[in-house]
Amino acid sequence: MQQKITILKNIKITLLTAFLGLISMASFSQKIKIDGVAVVIGKNIVLDSDIEKFKQEVEVRSEGKIKISDCEMLEELMQQKLLAHHAIIDSVLVVDAEIESRVEQSVQYFTQQYGSVDKVIKAYGFNDLDDLKKELFTVQTENALIEKEQQKITEKVDVTPEEVRLYFNSLKEKEELPEFSAEIELAQIVINAKPTKEETERIINKLNEIKKEVEDGASFKMKAIINSNDPGVTQNGGRYEVTKESQFIKEFKETAFSLDVGQISKPFKSDFGYHLMQLHEVKGNMRIASHILMQPEIPGAKLIETREKAEKIVKDINSGIITFEEAVEKYSDDKETKNNGGLILNPYTGESTFDLIGMDPALYARVAELKKGELTEVFYDQNRSGEKMYKFMIMRDRTDTHTADLIDDYVKIQGLALAKKKEETITKWSKEKIKDTYIKMSDAFSKCTFEKNWKKETGK
């Protein structure tokens, strides 16, 4: 039971889950008619269907290892509604611009999943884009209120070194010290295979030729299908819905918002290659545009030359002619790592360490047996923008799987201790707030046993 509750509290309610709470209805009033109300907290409600959907999310997120009862799930949802309710009472400030940004990110996420906004609207039964955004605005406002109320409750919570030590010793006495999996720190040197000047000029001339043909009446869509290197062109003809908050590259968004309807851009460059764009329509803060992407070809001789250059750098590092850090500064073409000694950041955590067990299988195969300070062999790679390159990595640091140690893992243990103290602070706050908060529970859940006195039974 305790393991389930602990993991449940560490599972964040994701955007997708929050959105799934909307799909069973077209409006709030319809929900009331077709779905049972499990509990009312202040002015907030938890529906019977919410419990089942969030249970499924927990089980999916835990890969089936955690099974949550309806009563356990209801208590977690009641906790969220209690926080949202008191955020309003406490006048927690939620800025519309922040919520609108979240909504745009949500729309962009689902658009990428379904291919277009129209398909999202149809799939979830909304009337139009405004209807969809209105529902998302409500969901994201509540999420923001919950987050900010939690921050407000715990803003002064901190842990001293002595508290960290006591927390660690308590885990040790109960034989509950966590196992920390193997972690590594990697740095890289990337040598791009650059196209020749002649090849670049050929691509630009071809795009200018297409621009003229379309201006003379040719179909932009057909030109995109025939010429574009964009992998999505077969599904959408190169057509996209673009907002300033969307995840498109900077050059793509800037061009879309600089054109008039019907206008075709000049060829422009991005990390993906060279583009041509035509603006079709303006819908509020959205631009509907098509593009053609053409990537310069890299001849085989250029690839061989690039690999040999990378291999020469490896040889110089191993022989002590140059240090790895000096080689990064002198040779590496990777913008993201060049200025920090080649250090690779984990895209999921933003930290410099990677969990060895959970990392990408292809990368794992290259680095799993490396010792600290050792280099991988030079290998070919191609990024999502189509750039071809050769690279190699160094094992900057390595920690094998081990039981938590207070000295070696102090920062991690400090984080666990702080999280526990914050959780205890919110639990104490909740028990007090339940006393003076309107709570009405359906008979179906009246026999549940909760950690907190949600049923307001006397003697508790």
311 and 394 fall within a common domain: yes
Same domain for 311 and 287? no
Identify whether residues 27 and 162 lie together within a single domain: yes
State how far the Cα of 387 lies from the Cα of 397, in Å rounded to an integer. Answer: 28
393 touches 186 (CB < 8 A): yes
Do residues 214 and 189 share a domain? no
Domain enclosing residue 273, as ranges: 197-294
The pTM of the whole model exceeds 0.75: no
- Asked which of 266, 294, 322 is the last residue of a domain, the reply is 294
* CA atoms within a 13 Å half-sphere pointing along the CA-CB vector of 110: 24
What is the CATH classification number for the domain harbouring 237?
A: 3.10.50
Determine, yes or no, domain membership for 328. Answer: yes
CA angle 52, 56, 60 (to 5 degrees): 175
Whether residues 147 and 58 share a domain: the answer is yes
Q: Which of 240, 270, 294 is the last residue of a domain?
A: 294
Q: On the CB side of 321, how many CA atoms lie within 13 Å of its CA? A: 8
Q: How many domains does the chain have?
A: 3
CATH number of the CATH domain containing 113: 1.10.4030.10
- E-strand spans in 321-412? 353-355, 379-382, 388-399, 402-403
List the chain pLDDT tens, one digit each, 460 residues.
444 434 344 433 333 333 333 333 333 333 333 458 999 999 999 998 888 888 887 777 677 777 889 999 999 999 999 999 999 999 999 988 888 888 888 887 787 777 778 888 888 788 888 888 888 898 899 999 999 999 999 999 999 999 999 999 999 999 999 999 889 999 999 999 999 899 999 999 999 999 999 999 999 999 999 999 988 787 788 899 898 877 788 999 999 999 999 999 999 999 889 999 999 999 888 899 999 999 999 989 999 999 999 999 999 999 999 999 999 999 999 988 999 999 999 877 788 999 887 788 888 899 999 999 999 999 999 887 778 999 999 999 999 889 999 999 999 999 999 999 999 999 999 999 999 999 999 999 989 999 999 998 876 6
Domain of 399, CATH number, reads: 3.10.50.40
Cα separation, 219 vs 232, whole angstroms:
18
- 458 located within any domain: no
Distance from CA of residue 22 to its chain's centroid?
21
CA atoms within 13 A on the CB side of 365: 3
**CB atoms < 10 A from the CB of 272, how many?**
20
Whole-angstrom Cα distance, residue 143 to residue 268? 39
Judgement on whether residues 135 and 12 belong to the same structural domain of the protein = yes
Residue 449's φ and ψ, nearest 5 degrees, are -105, 120
In a domain, residue 456? The reply is no
- Residue 455 forms part of a structural domain: no
Establish if 175 belongs to a structural domain.
no
Instruction: State CA 212 to chain mean position distance.
Output: 40
Q: Residue 7: its pLDDT value, please?
A: 37
Q: Is residue 348 part of a domain?
A: yes
Task: Kindly state whether residues 417 and 434 are assigned to the same domain.
Answer: yes
User: In this structure, are 289 and 303 located in the same domain?
Assistant: no
Per-residue confidence (pLDDT) for residue 98, from 0 to 100: 87
Q: Which residues contact 170 (CB under 8 A, 6 or more apart)?
A: none
Helix 410-435 vs helix 70-89: crossing angle, to nearest 10 = 80
Looking at the structure, tell me whether residues 305 and 271 fall in a common domain: no
Give yes or no: residues 287 and 303 share one domain: no
CB 78 within 8 A of CB 87: no
- The DSSP call for residue 94 is -
CA-CA distance, 168 to 405, in Å (whole number)? 9
237 contacts: CB under 8 Å, gap ≥ 6: 221, 224, 225, 290
Do both 151 and 90 map to the same domain? yes
Are 435 and 323 in a shared domain?
no
Does residue 104 sit within a domain? yes
Any domain includes 432:
yes
